[in-house]
Every structure is written in structure tokens, then in C-alpha cells.
Structure 1
């Protein structure tokens, strides 16, 4: 297993052609990948702040994508096919790497709900996380080998902290970065990419509700008497920093409808808090 991990660590990170094809065909936004990325970013920052890691350590987002929300098999590590052996490794390579995609036996994949940042954090605290270099890259479409359950994971001891409003979130943000979800409206949001002014939600006719997007709150300030959060977001496959007004206001979520509710642009605040002992 140690030799296998060394091979993963020294790998240049070249994607399998199937992964490249899947990435090119993917939509601009994948909710589960986004949630996993935010979760591991929050964990990496929190562990440095808590002095559990001497330096910023990257953990595997793909591990969370692979396992969060899926049923686990009890005692899987005790099964012969789950043991790391040369034979099992060779069988996996033959079935999942060397064989052409169109020649493989198609497996029926059941659709499962997209996972959230909170669920990813809870799973990490329960099961631990492998370092990024010890797992597949984000977006890997290859089947997880049974013996992957033996790859070492860093224990994560702590709990998920949540906030129901901006004032509570601000208290958490004074300690470390906080995860949240942002109501995105277009074209207003697109105009604010790269810290160009303050994003204040829909402006009127022609506005389209894009949906909720995962973000990290990295800074808070008062600008012209308004509470403003600077958030980091991956939008259309690029990372941006955007200033967001955090006041609660009526928002209309679908163009032309009559449904309007009062809420903040930022909702669902959460962060990992690690136990030092």
C-alpha cells in the first residue's frame, strides 16, 4: 500500500481520456463537486488556524463526492476483494483503465440528491479524509476500487457550527472562514465578478434566477453604512471574489411570477470547528 500511495503522490496528474471527455461535457456547475470543494477548503483553513496542521494541507474533494450520501458496506475491509494485492490492482486496471469505455459492461447508476457543504463536513468528521494526492482527482469518472477503503485518512475530530443569520455568521467569521450559499441572479451577478461594485441581488425586469451557489465568506465590512461580505465563488469554472450586500430584502425568484419572499442573499452558513484535544 505504501508503494501505491507513493505512486499516487508522484503522479503528474494526467486525466484519463474518459475524465477529460466528461469534464468537457459537464455543465458550468456541479453542486456536489462545489460543496465538496468548499468543505475541504474550510477544513484546510480551520486545521491551520487550530494548529492541527503546520501548513495548509489539501484534502480530497473527490473522496467526498464518491462517498457522501451513499450507503456503506459494513465490514468492507474484511472482504478478500477489498484487500490491496497486486492481483486486485491489476484486475482493477484491466477493467477500468485498459478496457475501452464502449466495451465495458454498463452499470445501472441510481441518481442521488446533490450533497451539501454541511453533509460533506459531517461525513469528514465521521470518516476522516485522505490527502488530495492520495485519492483520485476531482471529476474522476473511474469506479472507486474496493481496496481504496484501505487508503489512510486523516482523522477529523470536531463538529459543524451553523448560523441562522448574518449577525451569528459574523461571530463565526471572526474565528475562521465560513461557508454559505448565495442566491445568484443574472445578469446582475455577472456584472459584479472580480470585486466590481457590490452585488445587491435582482434589479428588475429581465432578471433571471440562476440558483443557490456555494461560497466562502472571507471578509466582512461596512461600506457606505451597509453590511457587506466578500465571498469566494467558483462561477462558470473560474474563481472570483465578489462583494455581497447581506441585508434581508424581498426577492422574486422566477421571472414573471408573483412569488416573492424576504430573505438575505447569503443563507445556510456553516463551518467546521475542530477539537484540539
Structure 2
């Protein structure tokens, strides 16, 4: 048992693992029962360095934040963050086409005039005056702020005595109707960070905060740690690393702190204050007091996505998100996995694996008090009430018309129970596209999977069916694709019938259509249908392929762009309209491969197919390899083992 106590003038602090949705009294009990020592040496700091390095390269986080410089004196932190949030909002909403930097110096002197004067009378040279982000943003909304003086951008200034010009020309303001949002709840932070950076206060401990580099900041790490107070920072992203939730935050102390001015902060640690009379103060995360100017939820016209209509999540009664005509092709909205022909690089590090449920792939959309599921050809599978946001007429569930949700699901109808098929009637959620009107298309699979797991449980969507919740929803367990995760997905016991394994690249956005960042793999031990069967349910001796007929007689795959594999002569194509699906068989050598790629296909026309979709190129190649030299589970495990050995050898 370890009791971490850091004494300051009036209280001591304790750290505990974050336990969500429990009472404070229970949290205090658990604190004293289960508090364990934090061993910094055991932290996997290498993983955190890689994440923050990748984040810099991939997401260019300076887009919505000002350029950091090397400073000898820190900016006034709340003024720095408030002006950054204002700049980001103008850029995101389209008011500015480039990042415009606003004056921290002006805000410091005129937003908190009385507190600054007190600091000056006490001889302070740098002082944060105890001001808040929200009050600074309200000052910008009501009074305005000028652009930053280029001199201030390049050198330090005295934030107590070095007064700038009052009421200069060209002041910029937030709109008078702009809401300034504040919250201490982690769930509200998730909502805010979807579209913009978020300000917050950070509990700081010395020497940890001064010595922070690319490793994760977890607060105090020893009895020698000293609490130094709150510091205002700017949260630019949330990531999950090794199962731990972390925030990437921008400091106001220049590029000399953290990784070029950014640090990674744990979101799974809390601090509890205890007064001299042993009274307990409210538990708090290391990051608290989340604040931002509310940005209108982006619509297609407002966010510059005119060329991305497939990805829009705007909704209204007059322009429904999902077309209601049965012939609508939902393939244009679904993310479709390619079949695993070759094992991708960095499988163990960059990919998740999950066991795919057998059943009907569908979109589930909840809005205006009802829930509708549609299968791939656009026809309605079910129309029903649900616990999803806007999914039923139950009070507190339907919400406003904008409160809609879109889930990527597989409807699982039956499950084996005591060797008998029993009805299951469960929607297994494999991905989330929109939540309460917030688009998740541009978020990584890593974030979307975490969001699915947390949100469905919160609203009771995983509860048994009831009058206002006709079908049960359930999440699909996902694993890091290491040896343990692959074994769990392949052999683990699950409440549904498996139909292969799905592999998701952790950084994959929700890309409509076929994507190589999501892969499907099958064998006869984890799927009942590795290869297509004939009308009698048997696997034909010849490799039968379904292709689509084009105007010029070419037979093509379902890829975008399509791959032409053969063509029909005039007699064979007579009477067949363009877009027809036809069955062909690989004969006399079938598919010829060179260096693993299709060189030539000898295909013979069989008949018209009643299948709704043609085969993709990767599916054709996967089934060809399954007949000749299949990719086995042992091959996947061997690749992971080899990658681990290579990592162990690297310095």
C-alpha cells in the first residue's frame, strides 16, 4: 500500500486511477483501498514518443495554433490560449483563410485590469492574475482584441508594466451570440474536441512539469514532488496509447518545453485535495475546466466539403441524410474492406484485429424519434424504436431534429446455443460514422472504436430489448494485432457466429468505398463461407466470379475505378443491359499471376447473376489464393513474431 502525499501550504494531493460514473464517496473509498505506487521507469515512454512524433507528421497540428518560438519568459497562459482559440475559430468557420494571430499582450492588460494592477503593486513582473479562459473569451466577444504586434511575436514582453495602446484600430470580436462553453466533464471534452482546440487548466507538479519531454505527463511521481498550481494549456487532440487515454496539449512556454512546445498528458489520472482539517475536496482530472467558444456544427457548405458529398453528415427533414428509395446504393456510403492478399507492414504495431460477426451488413440511422436500418442495396431491413439518440419517441431520447446517429453494423440473427440455432436479433456495431449529429468520418479508427465502446454503454443501447428499444446493440471486441490479440480474435469465445477477421489500420479515417486500410481475412475455422458457393450451397470445382457488364461489353470488378478482366461477345451480351451482373468461370489455366499480380484471365461466360454486386479485385485474388496457396493464420502469427524480433534488435 502506497500513500503519495505532497504537502503545500494548505493541502496534500493524492493520485488515483480514473473511475468513471461513480459517486465521489465511492471514489474516496477506492482511493484508500487500491492506491498503488506509480513506477515511472515502467512507463512505455517509447510508445508515447512515437505517437506524438507521428501526430506532428500526420496531422500538422500547427494549422489551428500559432507558431511557437523559444522564450525565456512564458506568455500569460490564459491570454495565450484564449487568443489561440479565437484564431482557430475564425479559421475553422471560414472568417479567415489563413491563421491570424491576436495580441496576448492587449488581452493581458485590458481583460483583467484590476487583477493586473494588484500584481503590479506587489512588484510582480509576470503574473497570471488568476484569470480564466472563459472570462478572456467573453472579453473578446464584448470588447474585442487587435492583431498581435510583430515585435511581440518575436520577443518577450513584460506582462505587468509594458502596457499596449488602448482601443487601437481594427479590433476583432466574437459574434455577440457566440456561446462560451465551460465544463469539467470528460464527456463534454470529447464533444468539444471534435471540431476545434479546447482550453483547459493543468495541475502542475515540480520537477515533473519542468522536466517533461516526449514522455507522458502523469503528475506527481514521488514524495518529493511539489504541487505548483494550475497552468492554462490548449488541448489539440485526444489519443489512446497502450489502452491509456491521453491528451496532446500545447503549452505557452515555447518550443523548449516538451516536444516543440507540446506535451502529452494522462487522462486516466485524478487528483484529490485534502485540507488541514482532513476535509476532502472534489476529485479532478489532471486537466480540468475545459473551455472553448462554441462552433456551429459543420454543414457541407460551411466546411468547404462540396467535393465530399459522400461524407456529409448534415440532416434536415426536407433533405434526409439517407435516401428512402429502395434502389439507393448504400455501397456509396459504406466503408468496404479489401481482402487480405498480402500481409501489411507493421501489422502488430499499426493495426487492430476483431472477429467479424456473421450476418447482414447495414447502416443504422436514428433521427426524429425512429430508427431505420438499411442493407447494402438500400432496402429497409427494420424500422424500429431504439435507445440511440433520436431513435424513439421516449422522452429524453428523441431530442431535436439534428440529434441523429449513424452506425455501421452487422445484424446477427441466430447464434449456436447448446448445439442448436437460437435467435439472437442483435445489431453488432463495427464502426460509428456520426454521433448526435457530429461527423466522425475524419477521425481515426482508434478514436472511433473508443467512442463506440463508451457511448453505446452510456445511453443503454446495449440493454436487453424493451418497448422503446426493440433490438439490442452490442459492440465488437477489438484487439491490438499482437500475438495475444490475434489469438483472442481467432479462437476466443464470442456471443455470435464468426465470419472471418477484420483488420483496421489504427489511423484509418472512415473512407467510403473499398479501402486497403481495412482488410478481411477468412479460413474454414473462423468462417462458414470462405469461398462463394453455388445455388446448392456447394463450392464449385471451378473458380466462379461475378462481374459487371459495361456499355462496351467489358466485364469489370466493383472497384473504383473498376478493373476490366474480360468481355462478352455480341451473342453473349445480347439483351443484357449495361450494369448487369454475370457469372463467369476461370477455365484453362484460369487466372495467371506474375509476381503476385494478375497478368491474364481466361474466363468463360456462365449466366446472368442475381447478385446485387460484382466481386472486387481483392476478393477475386483472395479466393484464387484460397484454392491454391492460402494465406494461413500461422503466416499472420509468424509475421507478428518477426516484427517483434526486429523491434527487440533495434537500438
TM-score range, shorter chain: 0.5 to 0.7
The CA distance in 2 between the partners of 1:228 and 1:42, in whole Å, is: 20
Alignment of 1:31-180 (within 5 A): 33-70=76-113, 113-133=129-149, 139-140=157-158, 141-145=161-165, 148-157=166-175, 158-180=178-200
Q: Secondary structure at the match of 2:249?
A: strand
2:214 to 189, 195, 212: 195
After TM superposition, the structure 1 stretch with the greater mean CA deviation from structure 2, 122-131 or 182-191, is 182-191
Asked if structure 2 preserves the Cα contact closer than 8 Å seen for 1:219 and 1:229, the reply is yes
The CA distance in 1 between the partners of 2:236 and 2:222, in whole Å, is: 29
CA deviations 1:256-277 (Å, max 9, x no partner) are 9967653210001001235799
The CA distance in 1 between the partners of 2:254 and 2:101, in whole Å, is: 22
Q: Runs in 1 of length 4+ with deviation above 6 angstroms?
A: 134-138, 256-260
Asked if structure 2 preserves the Cα contact closer than 8 Å seen for 1:163 and 1:269, the reply is yes
Shift of 1:109: 5.8
Judged with a 3 Å threshold, the aligned counterparts in structure 2 of structure 1 residues 252 and 185 are, in CA distance, closer, same or farther, namely farther
The aligned length equals 209
Asked if structure 1 preserves the Cα contact closer than 8 Å seen for 2:236 and 2:249, the reply is yes
Judged with a 3 Å threshold, the aligned counterparts in structure 2 of structure 1 residues 186 and 126 are, in CA distance, closer, same or farther, namely same
Alignment of 1:261-272 (within 5 A): 261=281, 262-272=283-293
Q: Secondary structure at the match of 1:119?
A: helix
Asked if structure 2 preserves the Cα contact closer than 8 Å seen for 1:181 and 1:267, the reply is yes
Asked if structure 2 preserves the Cα contact closer than 8 Å seen for 1:63 and 1:135, the reply is no
Q: Secondary structure at the match of 1:206?
A: coil
The CA RMSD over aligned residues, in Å, is 3.4
Shift of 1:34: 1.4
Match of 1:243 in 2: 264
Unaligned runs of 5+ in 1: 1-22, 72-107
Judged with a 3 Å threshold, the aligned counterparts in structure 2 of structure 1 residues 166 and 110 are, in CA distance, closer, same or farther, namely same
Shift of 1:150: 4.7
1:204 to 214, 219, 222: 222
Judged with a 3 Å threshold, the aligned counterparts in structure 2 of structure 1 residues 67 and 226 are, in CA distance, closer, same or farther, namely same
Which of 1 and 2 has higher RCO (CA within 8 Å, sep 6+)? 1
Asked if structure 2 preserves the Cα contact closer than 8 Å seen for 1:160 and 1:272, the reply is yes
Q: Does 1:230 align with 2:251?
A: no
Shift of 1:195: 1.9
CA deviations 1:57-93 (Å, max 9, x no partner) are 011111111111337xxxxxxxxxxxxxxxxxxxxxx
Judged with a 3 Å threshold, the aligned counterparts in structure 2 of structure 1 residues 250 and 179 are, in CA distance, closer, same or farther, namely closer
Match of 1:213 in 2: 231
TM-score (norm 2): 0.29
Larger Rg: 2
Shift of 1:131: 1.1
Q: Secondary structure at the match of 1:244?
A: strand
Q: Secondary structure at the match of 1:234?
A: coil
Asked if structure 2 preserves the Cα contact closer than 8 Å seen for 1:252 and 1:258, the reply is no
The CA distance in 2 between the partners of 1:201 and 1:257, in whole Å, is: 24
Unaligned runs of 5+ in 2: 1-70, 303-651
Q: Secondary structure at the match of 1:115?
A: coil
Asked if structure 2 preserves the Cα contact closer than 8 Å seen for 1:125 and 1:159, the reply is no
Judged with a 3 Å threshold, the aligned counterparts in structure 2 of structure 1 residues 144 and 220 are, in CA distance, closer, same or farther, namely closer
After TM superposition, the structure 1 stretch with the greater mean CA deviation from structure 2, 125-134 or 179-188, is 125-134
Q: Secondary structure at the match of 1:149?
A: coil
The CA distance in 2 between the partners of 1:250 and 1:150, in whole Å, is: 43
Q: Secondary structure at the match of 1:170?
A: helix
Asked if structure 1 preserves the Cα contact closer than 8 Å seen for 2:200 and 2:288, the reply is yes
The CA distance in 2 between the partners of 1:203 and 1:38, in whole Å, is: 27
Shift of 1:244: 1.1
Tell me which protein shows more helix as a share of its residues. 1
